[in-house]
Amino acid sequence: MEVLPILSAMRRNKVGAILVAVQMAATLAILSNALFIIQQHLALSSRPSGIDEANLFAISNQWVGTPPDESALLQTDLAALRALPGVIDAYATNSYPLTNSGWGDGADLKPDQTKSSTHMARYFGDEHTLNTLGVKLLAGRNFTAAEVVDRMYNDQAAPTALIISRAMADSMFPHGDALGKSIYTSGNKAQTSPIVGIVERLQSPWVSGSSWAAGWVENTAIEPYHYLAKSFCYLVRTQPGQLENVLLLSQQKLFEIHRARVLDKVQTLTEARQEVYRDDRGLALILAVVCAVLLAITAFGIVGLTSYWVAQRRRQIGIRRALGATRGAVVRYFQTENLMIAATGAVVGIVLAITLNLWMVSSFQLERLHNSYAVGGAVIVLLLGQLAVLWPALRAASIPPALATRSV
């Protein structure tokens, strides 16, 4: 097309063109990195926990002092919770997913390993745990009531049975033969614990991208314990639609059974998810707003500058029109001009985006930018330029050819 005349016109206004190109390059660099970070954090915060979050709630229970028979009281509580109308099942535990707080440990194949085979989160539970959480047992069996024993904080005996997540099974036994094998857990080098069941998915409590469990967030083991401690949690699964109701009812019931307790943190798992991923979603939201404003600013900048160029060249445009250029040709002129500037900006921008990302990767816990984001950013910037230039270009096209005949 008319590339050469455009180039020669641009040479007379180098700095303006360079400014636009640099601005588009910077926009592209920020945009692609921001979109990439947004995607990463949204992906992180939408990973499934493996449990029936919609119908689950948790009650944090803290005794006042030490009740006379903790063990019996725990059983009474559980029986009462399970008997409430609308309740599917309930169990007591030390910790549960989406809380960023719990017990973690190494798991070993041999007693004399200096470095653990893998790490895992430890959840205490009983024969009601799988049904309460709504996790799917892929292989093996559930705990039996007889296997479940009381456990104090610093008890050191190894669990007599383990139900582990598939991710955990795969990381310790890559050949898929984890069921029935025994492993060393909880620092106990003398006793092993047999794997009696494997569940499809059960996330550890530490889900943030920068947590210590980032590398093994899907590795979990359920141990057959009733946790006798000052503080522990009840998890309750309800029939669909019954959650709010049961949530209130169960607290009343627990206070009826034993008044000297604190029900400190009562939350649905939906709330737990919101809470635990608040920073991730917040970051994504802020970055999205910044991206939108960035695009708007860049677009308006292009509109402003191009309008000015159009105003500056009114006479030349009039002459071109008088010499036979169509309106379309004038519009195309400015579009091509912008495309050339934007394309230059995009090339520089892709390099800049990758450089910025490499620098961020070295300073923060961040992944490498996927190329598709740089390319996508380039496409967005090119389209943005075309869109922004349209209005000034149309204005230019409306300059009458008669202008050429007038003296300024």
Partner 1 sequence: MFKYYFSLALRSLRRNVVLTMLMIAAIGVGIGASMTTLTVFRAMDADPIPHKSGQLYAVQIDNWGPADHSMDTGDKLEDQIDYVDAMALMHAHAGARQIAAYLTGFALTPANPELKPFKVDARATFTDFFSMFEVPFEYGAPWGSGDDDARAPVIVITHELNDKLFGGANSVGRTINLDNEDYRIIGVMAPWNPMPRFYDLTSSDFEKTAPVFLPFTRAIDRHLLSWGNTSCSKASEEGWEGLLNSNCVWIQFWAELPSAAAVEEYRRWLKNYAEEQRLSGRFQWPAYTKLHDVRAWLTYEHVVSDETRILVLVSFSFLLVCVLNAMGLMLAKFMGRSADIGVRRALGANKRAILAQCLIEAGVVGLAGGLLGVVLTVLGLLGLRSVLSEQILELTHLDPSGVCIALALAIAATMIAGLYPTWRAAQVVPAWQLKAQ
Residues near partner 1 (CB under 8 A): 15-16, 19-20, 22-23, 26-27, 29-30, 33-34, 37, 62-66, 114-115, 152-156, 186-189, 210, 212, 215, 229-230, 255, 260-262, 264, 278-283, 285-287, 289-290, 293-294, 297-298, 300-301, 304-305, 307-309, 311-312, 356, 360, 363-366
Nearer residue to partner 1 within complex by CB, 138 or 390 = 390
Give dist(CA 90, CA 235) in Å, integer: 5
Give dist(CA 146, CA 4) in Å, integer: 87
CB of 1 to partner 1, least distance (A): 25
Give dist(CA 289, CA 13) in Å, integer: 33
Distance from the Cα of residue 402 to its chain's centroid: 60
Nearer residue to partner 1 within complex by CB, 34 or 247 = 34
CB of 19 to partner 1, least distance (A): 4
CB of 177 to partner 1, least distance (A): 27
Give dist(CA 273, CA 98) in Å, integer: 6
Query: Which tokens go with 145?
Result: 């009531």
CB of 301 to partner 1, least distance (A): 4
CB of 239 to partner 1, least distance (A): 29
Give dist(CA 150, CA 145) in Å, integer: 12
Give dist(CA 41, CA 209) in Å, integer: 8
Q: Could you tell me if 341 and 333 are in contact, meaning their C-beta atoms sit under 8 angstroms apart?
A: no
Nearer residue to partner 1 within complex by CB, 111 or 176 = 111
CB of 311 to partner 1, least distance (A): 7
Give dist(CA 235, CA 350) in Å, integer: 50
Nearer residue to partner 1 within complex by CB, 155 or 244 = 155
| CA nearest neighbour of 125 among 105, 140, 103, 107 | 103
Nearer residue to partner 1 within complex by CB, 82 or 253 = 253
Query: Which tokens go with 316?
Result: 């030349």
Distance from the Cα of residue 56 to its chain's centroid: 21
Residue showing tokens 């030390």: 94
Nearer residue to partner 1 within complex by CB, 194 or 391 = 391
| Residue type at 13 in one-letter notation | N
CB of 169 to partner 1, least distance (A): 22
Q: Could you tell me if 307 and 392 are in contact, meaning their C-beta atoms sit under 8 angstroms apart?
A: yes
CB of 275 to partner 1, least distance (A): 9
| CA nearest neighbour of 30 among 302, 355, 367, 382 | 355
* 13 contact partners, CB below 8 Å, separation of at least 6: 309
Nearer residue to partner 1 within complex by CB, 8 or 154 = 154
Q: Could you tell me if 204 and 219 are in contact, meaning their C-beta atoms sit under 8 angstroms apart?
A: yes
Nearer residue to partner 1 within complex by CB, 67 or 134 = 67
